């Protein structure tokens, strides 16, 4: 195995997370903060870290139904993220639009614009579900690199 492949194989053990709020009601964002902050659901044990800059990101967590106002900004931030990246849609709004589906100001669901890799349903999803989504994102990341776990 070449050095490059070896680095790629261990690289999935340090997924840095970035949150994009695409017009969410903040319910899912609170749950994401819970996932990070409450000892019981510590994400740092997977090597995760919430980072402030899209340039440092590996796994991007998108919440909310993608409103018209926020669409271009979300797309712009998403394109700032260096490859390889994994996109996780958190909450039922970002997956299908949820109760806001068909609203006059709703451009979602998100996969109309962005290729979503993992769906984490729930309104809001439980922290355990978000953790499972992040772990799933790791194996998808490996597949994107052309490697198997």
Partner 1 sequence: MSDTLLAILHMIIFPGGIFALAVGFFFKGLDRRVEARLQRRVGPPLKQPWLDTAKLLTKETLIPKTACRQAFLLAPVFGFTGMAVCAAFIPIPGVYSGLNNMGDLLVIFYLLPIPAMALMIGGSASSSPFGALGFSREMLLMLAYETPLLMILLAVAMLAGKSIAGGAAGAEFSLLKIVNWQQQTGSLGLNTAMIPALLAYLIFLPGTLGVAPFDIPEAETEIIEGPLLEYGGPLLALFNMTSALKTFVLLGLGVALFFPGVISAWWPVNLIWFVLKCLVLMLLSITVVKSATGRLRIDQAFRFYVTIPAALALCSLILVWVM
Instruction: At 89, list the tokens.
Output: 């849609």
Q: Is 55 in the site for partner 1 (CB under 8 A)?
A: yes
Nearer to partner 1 among residue 107 and residue 117 (C-beta)? 117
Q: Is 45 in the site for partner 1 (CB under 8 A)?
A: yes
- Whose tokens are 């806001």? That residue is 100
Strand order from edge to edge, sheet including 49-50:
49-50, 16-21, 59-63, 86-90, 118-120
Q: Using CB under 8 A, which of 26, 30, 53, 143 touches partner 1?
A: 53
Helix and strand counts by DSSP (H, E) for the chain? 5, 5
Nearer to partner 1 among residue 13 and residue 101 (C-beta)? 13
User: Which residues of this chain interact with partner 1, rule CB under 8 A?
Assistant: 4, 7-8, 10-14, 16, 39, 42, 44-47, 50-53, 55-56, 58, 80, 82-84
């Amino acid at each position: 195995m070449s050095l490059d492949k070896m680095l790629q194989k261990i690289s999935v053990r340090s997924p840095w997370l970035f949150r994009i709020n695409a017009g969410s009601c903040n319910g899912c964002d609170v749950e994401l903060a819970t996932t990070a902050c409450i000892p019981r659901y510590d994400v740092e044990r997977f090597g995760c870290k919430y980072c402030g800059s899209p340039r440092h990101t590996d796994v991007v967590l998108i919440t909310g139904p993608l409103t018209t106002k926020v669409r271009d900004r979300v797309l712009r931030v998403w394109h700032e993220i260096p490859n390889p990246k994994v996109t996780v849609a958190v909450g039922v709004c970002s997956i299908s639009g949820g109760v806001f589906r068909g609203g006059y100001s709703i451009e979602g669901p998100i996969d109309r614009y962005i290729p979503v890799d993992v769906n984490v349903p729930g309104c809001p999803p439980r922290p355990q579900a978000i953790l499972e989504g992040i772990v799933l994102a790791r194996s998808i990341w490996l597949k994107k690199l052309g490697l198997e776990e």
